[in-house]
Every structure is written in C-alpha cells, then in structure tokens.
C-alpha cells in the first residue's frame, strides 16, 4: 500500500483514544468518533494493578501496559501516574487464607508480591482498622487519572494529524467494495479499516458488521471526598475484591480506595448487572461505606459526594484484535481493567494492522 490508509476508531474512552493515537503513529489517517454522552472512562477509578489479575494473558498485557505508562509519564507528567504499589487487605482469617493462595500463584507467575502482617500494614498505612491482620503488597502497581490519560492520547492523535468527531453513530456498515462507513448526525466518514472500542455500547455497532459480542454493562458506583490528611498512599483494596470482580452474580460490593496528590479520595465500589440504570446512589453509598469500615477507620467522617455510576464493559473475556471481517478490529469488553490495559491493547491493535499490511509503516 503506497499511501496512508484511512482508519475509523469508534470510541474516545481510554481504549479508543489509545488505539487512535497508536494507529496514527503507524501511519494511518485516523478519524476517531465518540458520543459525548457516553463514557466509562470519565467515571472510572485509576488503579493500574497486576495483583488483581490471574496468571495468564491479561496479566501479561497489564504488565506491558505498565511499562508503556512508565515511558508515557516521562513525556506527560500531568497524568497523575505513579508506581505507588497497591495493598490487598484481609480483614479476617478466611479472607487472609484465600488471599494467600493467590499470592503464591502470582509469585509463581513472576509478580513480586510481599506478604505483610497487620502491624506492619498499620505502620505503612496508619488509618487501617485493627481488624486488618494481613495483606499483600505489589510494588509494581500504580495509579493514574483516567480522564487525563484519555485526553492525552486524543492530544497525541491530533498532533499526528488525526481528527476527532464528537457525535453518536447511527450506522456502521461494511461497504460492498471494501472498507467501512460510519454515519451519525455530525459525521459521515469512510475508512479502509475500523477499530471498535465502544466500551459497553459496542454490541449493537458490532452487530451491524455481523459480529456478535457478549458484552454487558456492569454498573459501579464511585464516591469522592476531599481529605486534608493522607489516607491511602497507594490503592487499597479489600481481600474480597478479587472474588467480587470475577463473580457473575447480579450484585457484588467490595472495598477499594484511592487518593490523589490533590487530597481527593475515591471510594468504591459495587458491581451490578442492572443495565444502564443510574438509580440507587444513596443506598450504594451506605453499603460501600459499611464495607469500607472493615478496612479503614473514619471514612464515614468525610463528606462524600452523591456518587457517579459508570458501566464497566463486562465480557467473559475481552475482545482484542482482528476479526473475521477483514479490516475490522475489536478493542472492547475490558470490564474493570480498561484503563490499565489501554496502552498495551492499543499497541497490539497497531501491530496487527501493520502485520496485516494495511499501513505504510
């Protein structure tokens, strides 16, 4: 192919923006499209965790993303990226036993986890409750500000000559002569290739191309407050977080807490299959604070906001890469890991596009 191919990227969240920037860097002329009313990334936490993964391909992808974030943070220090480490906490013996099994499995996979007792944990993190009697520390983990990250990649895309269109899409079609066409009130664009990164809204767009995706919105509430003291020097998670994440029950709640350098603390969270409903924030806040009290003291004394519900794109397994429709690539279904996996997912898509001979790179 002798000239730059045109690419449509659907999605301006962390994943879509990363893919758009990556495609522009391998020589595509990219138009990235997003509906400004829809975004999981804007309502996301910013944990970048290895110790919340099972050994296997997603753990490897997360580790690669963290390496890419190290490089990114050097050119963009405003993203709030820090390798703070993360703590998974056990507030009773059975939680500790389950956590310890995972620690052994992850250590065998090369993740350098440290197993700490309650007193050591309280020395590192003074506000922890006296019930916390063990926990694992992953020094490789980190955090980032998700909206700033997505915005940064959109900025990179523009610098590399790409375009951004804010519009819902009503149609995405494969053209009879090859390539794709995306149509919405503010856009009518053709591309030789398309990347679908529409988060939990991906299935109807994929269906237009004859692809069936098993992605469902999994609601999560996050609550924010400003604290005038350090509460979480790194992401803190309850030992039950892993079970909640991997379960498919209609309702789960598990403790997680993050603090940014501004002092802002972000507390979660629920995992609920309730479609795109945003009802029930008050009840969710009570429940999240009740669970959080097992791990950290005094959180109920902060002034929490009324919360925001985001919709994780749940799938049995993420959809990443080329499809049976030539020129169509998927980057969706990352549930609670899309921010973490975005950098490596985008790298994978760009590599496949190059391998498939669709670019000049």
Q: Compute CA distances 218 → 51, 269, 272, 315, 360, whole Å.
A: 21, 12, 5, 9, 39
Scanning 33-41, 95-103, 207-215, 246-254 for contacts with ligand FAD by CB under 6 A, the matching segment is 33-41
- Of residues 167 through 196, those in contact with ligand FAD by CB under 6 A are 168-169
Which stretches of 26-145 are DSSP H helices?
A: 57-75, 93-108, 118-124
In the bound complex, what is the minimum distance in angstroms from residue 344's beta carbon to ligand FAD? 11
Residues facing residue 224 across a β-bridge: 266
Contact assessment for residue 46 and residue 146, using Cβ atoms and an 8 Å cutoff: yes
Residue 339 in contact with ligand FAD, rule: CB under 6 A: yes
Residue 156 in contact with ligand FAD, rule: CB under 6 A: no
Contact assessment for residue 300 and residue 223, using Cβ atoms and an 8 Å cutoff: no
In the bound complex, what is the minimum distance in angstroms from residue 235's beta carbon to ligand FAD? 8
In DSSP notation, 127-163 reads TB-TT--EEEEETT-EE--HHHHHHHHHHHHHHTT-E
Nearer to ligand FAD, 207 or 361 (CB): 207
In the bound complex, what is the minimum distance in angstroms from residue 304's beta carbon to ligand FAD? 14
269 cis-preceded (ω within 30 degrees of 0): yes
- Of residues 42 through 71, those in contact with ligand FAD by CB under 6 A are 43-47
For the record, the structure tokens of 302 come out as: 């902060």
Residues facing residue 219 across a β-bridge: 272, 311
Residues touching ligand FAD, count (CB under 6 A): 41
In the bound complex, what is the minimum distance in angstroms from residue 93's beta carbon to ligand FAD? 28
| Binds ligand FAD (CB under 6 A): choice among 80, 118, 142, 220 | 220
Give contact residues for ligand FAD (rule: CB under 6 A). 10-16, 33-35, 38-41, 43-47, 168-169, 197-199, 201, 205, 220, 222, 268-269, 310-313, 332, 334, 336-340
């Amino acid at each position: 192919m002798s000239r730059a191919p045109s690419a449509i990227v659907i999605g301006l969240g962390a994943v879509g923006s990363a893919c758009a920037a990556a495609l522009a860097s391998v020589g595509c002329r990219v138009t990235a499209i997003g509906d400004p009313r829809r975004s999981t990334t804007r309502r996301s936490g910013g944990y970048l965790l290895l110790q919340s993964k099972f050994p296997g391909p997603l753990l490897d992808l997360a580790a690669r993303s963290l390496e890419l974030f190290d490089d990114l943070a050097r050119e963009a220090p405003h993203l709030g990226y820090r390798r703070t480490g993360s703590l998974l906490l056990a507030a009773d013996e059975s939680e500790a036993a389950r956590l310890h099994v995972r620690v052994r499995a992850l250590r065998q996979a090369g993740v350098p986890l440290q197993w700490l007792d309650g007193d050591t944990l309280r020395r590192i993190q003074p506000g922890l409750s006296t019930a916390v009697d063990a926990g694992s520390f992953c020094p490789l983990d980190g955090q980032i500000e998700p909206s700033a990250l997505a915005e940064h990649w959109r900025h990179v895309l523009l610098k590399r000559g790409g375009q951004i269109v804010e519009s819902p899409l009503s149609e995405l079609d494969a053209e009879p002569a090859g390539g794709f066409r995306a149509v919405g009130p503010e856009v009518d664009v053709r591309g030789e290739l398309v990347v679908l990164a529409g988060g939990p809204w991906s299935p109807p767009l994929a269906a237009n191309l004859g692809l069936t995706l098993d992605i469902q919105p999994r609601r999560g509430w996050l609550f924010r407050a400003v604290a005038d003291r350090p509460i979480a020097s790194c992401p803190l998670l309850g030992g039950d977080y892993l079970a909640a994440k991997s379960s498919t029950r209609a309702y789960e709640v598990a403790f997680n807490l993050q603090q940014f350098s501004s002092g802002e603390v972000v507390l979660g969270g629920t995992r609920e299959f309730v479609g795109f409903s945003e009802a029930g924030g008050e009840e969710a806040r009570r429940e999240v604070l009740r669970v959080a009290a097992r791990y950290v003291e005094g959180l109920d004394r902060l002034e929490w906001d009324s919360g925001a519900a985001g919709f994780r794109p749940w799938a049995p397994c993420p959809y990443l890469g080329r499809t049976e429709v030539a020129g169509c690539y998927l980057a969706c279904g990352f549930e609670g890991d899309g921010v973490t996996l975005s950098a490596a997912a985008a790298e994978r898509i760009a590599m496949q596009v190059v391998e498939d001979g669709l670019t000049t790179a």
